[in-house]
Amino acid sequence: MSTILPTSTDCHRRGDIKETFARCRAEGRIALVAYLTVGYPTLAATPELVEALVEGGCDLVELGVPFSDPLADGATIQRASQRALANGGNLALTLEVAASLRQKVEVPLLLMGYCNPFYRYGLTRLAASAAEAGVQGLIVPDLPPEEADDLLAALAPYGIDNIAMAAPTSGPARIETICRRASGFVYCVALTGVTGARQALAPDLGPFLARVRRQTQLPLAVGFGLSRPEQIAAVAQLADGAVVGSAIIDLIDSLPAGERAAGLRRYAASLRAATYRPVIASP
């Protein structure tokens, strides 16, 4: 079923992250989060492709802000970011795309970007602009939690969530600090390294998520390396959400321009079908 909505004057209230995870939990499944670099493959194509992902069943969308040095991202998203920059993509245009999408989709919209463009834009201005565009959360991979006070102060008046990231290499004290600064959900990095589709999940993913779970009641979403329905199904037994990014870029690359939206819609639907948790029969 499509979640595209008619234009609404109350668009800023759509896409509550907490409510989205609660709804998915009530439906017996995890949330499916999609990532797409804004401006890739073109600025004009981005909204249609995001809408296709939502129509296919994605529950939240990360809008990647093009940046010249996306250090947490692997070759696929680095290439997409360079292409988006060449197409004129930047933070201001990302906010414009978010505002346009907010008129059409009700899922939570998140900005995923790096410190340099955010701080250059100005955190107070960024928070106000993001709220005006209908953005519900920010993900800033290169911002240490100990240095996040200014961002948190800027976001708080607008109710925008800081989606903090935890890595498998994080110790208990570090995880506690990360979780204390997080809201919305905690983005749990599934592997040591950068983004990019992988063949299998890391064998220590379960124990890592258990360590994070001990520190927070927030939903846990797993990202980095997910690409196939069977991986989503495995994550559904461990976490509250799954993030897919590089595989979406790879699929766009493999399809003719006229087939991309339909291809993404089918791909998202295949992943969505794998988000349901197994039903355990009562004895």
How confident is the prediction along the chain (283 residues), in pLDDT tens digits per residue? 333 333 333 333 457 999 999 999 999 999 999 999 999 999 999 999 999 999 999 999 999 999 887 666 668 888 888 999 999 999 999 999 999 999 999 999 999 999 999 999 999 999 999 999 999 999 999 999 999 999 999 999 999 999 999 999 989 999 999 999 999 999 999 875 444 444 557 778 999 999 999 999 999 999 988 999 999 999 999 999 999 999 999 999 999 999 999 999 999 999 999 999 876 555 5
Reported pTM = 0.90
Tell the residue number behind the tokens 């559904």, with chain if given.
236
What local confidence, expressed as pLDDT, does residue 29 receive? 98
Q: Which helix (H) or strand (E) holds 111?
A: strand 109-112
DSSP symbol at 193: S
For the chain, what are the domain ranges? 11-164+227-273
Positions marked active-site: 62, 73
What local confidence, expressed as pLDDT, does residue 190 receive? 83
Cβ count near 274 (within 10 Å)? 19
Return phi, psi of residue 160, to 5°. Answer: -85, 135
Pairing of strands 241-244, 161-162: unpaired
What local confidence, expressed as pLDDT, does residue 199 receive? 54
Superfamily designation of domain 11-164+227-273: Aldolase class I (3.20.20.70)
**Which amino acid type is present at position 33?**
V
Residue 6: Cβ-neighbour burial (10 angstroms; 0-12, 13-18, 19+): exposed
What local confidence, expressed as pLDDT, does residue 280 receive? 59
Q: Distances in Å between the alpha carbon of 92 and those of 110, 117, 125, 232, 276? A: 15, 10, 11, 33, 37
Pairing of strands 109-112, 31-37: unpaired
Paired strand residues for 274 = none
Phi-psi domain of 231 (left: phi exceeds 0; alpha: psi -120 through 50; beta: other): alpha
